[in-house]
Amino acid sequence: MKLTGFSFGKLRVDGDEYDHDLVIDRGEVRKRDKRPSKKYRAIYGHTPLSLAEDIPWKCKRLVVGTGGGALPIMDEVRREAERRHVELIAMPTKEALELLMQGTARTNAVLHLTC
């Protein structure tokens, strides 16, 4: 998987450009549906990553790109990752993309492209 052209709000994956948050699930790319998490926005000041979303758990490692660091990850997500024996790595999206470019075998991702 080739991840290029990252800038605020944009990312190119294998030549296709996206302008919204993404989920990479076993090599497939889809739009992150954050609507189920919006109910927590007032608590966090930003729509967090919550268990209400369709998180791509079928992996050994889940990389969460937090934008510039603004995407909150709810504690319940961290606990669920631990329960599933999935290594959860959260970092700014630019760094997350660098990590993903090193190899994505058995690695899924949630990428926040703004903030």
Residues near 55 by beta carbon (within 8 Å), at least 6 away in sequence: 23, 49, 62, 77, 80, 110
Query: What are the structural domain ranges in the chain?
Result: 3-112
| Average pLDDT, 10 consecutive residues per value, the chain (115 residues) | 91 95 96 97 97 98 96 98 98 96 91 92
> pTM value?
0.96
Q: Would you state the pLDDT for residue 29?
A: 97
- Is the domain spanning 3-112 CATH 3.40.50.10860? The answer is no
Q: What is the pLDDT of residue 37?
A: 98
User: What is the per-residue pLDDT for 104?
Assistant: 74
Centroid of chain to Cα 81: 13
Residue 53 pLDDT: 98
